[in-house]
């Protein structure tokens, strides 16, 4: 899966939880889920679970700990997909 494809899938996953639509429109690798998209932290858990379902991977606690931005998320997803 290319980076662009990963970002596209991730964008679809985070969309329902976004509270700042303008920041979502201009989403980039640097975008932070909480500071930029204003995602409620309880919904971050939903994002982790949605990512696990979508990519059929397991996000362990250590991985989850730093999964706060688009960049960190695609790095972790790519690494987990590679392990498969």
Partner 1 sequence: MIGNDIVDLNVAFVQSNWRRKRFLSKVFTEYEQQLIKSSANPDKTVWLLWSMKESAYKINVQQYQDVFFSPRKLQCKILSKTKGLVMIKDEMYLTESQINNDFICTIASLKKDVKKLNEAFELDDDSYAIQHKQSSVKLMVAVSKKWDLPLKDVRIKKNKIGIPKLFLNTKELPISFSITHHGSYGAYSIVC
Q: Which stretches of the chain bind partner 1, using CB under 8 A?
A: 19-20, 32, 34-35, 38, 40-46, 48-49, 52, 61, 64-68
Residue whose CB is less far from partner 1, 27 or 64 = 64
- Shortest Cβ 4–partner 1 spacing (Å): 25
Q: Shortest distance, CB of residue 33 to partner 1, whole angstroms?
A: 9
How far is Cα 61 from Cα 21, in angstroms, rounded to an integer?
29
Considering the complex, state which of residue 5 and residue 60 has its C-beta at the smaller distance from partner 1: 60
Q: Is 73 left (phi over 0), alpha (psi -120 to 50) or beta?
A: alpha
Count CA atoms within 13 Å of residue 19 on its CB side. Answer: 9
């Amino acid at each position: 899966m290319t980076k662009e494809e990963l970002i596209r899938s991730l964008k679809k996953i985070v969309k329902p939880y976004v509270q700042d639509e303008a920041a979502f429109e201009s989403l980039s690798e640097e975008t932070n889920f909480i500071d930029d998209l204003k995602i409620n932290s309880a919904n971050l858990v939903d994002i982790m679970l949605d990512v696990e379902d979508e990519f059929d991977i397991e996000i362990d606690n250590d991985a989850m700990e730093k999964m706060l931005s688009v960049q960190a998320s695609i790095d972790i997803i790519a690494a987990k997909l590679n392990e498969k």
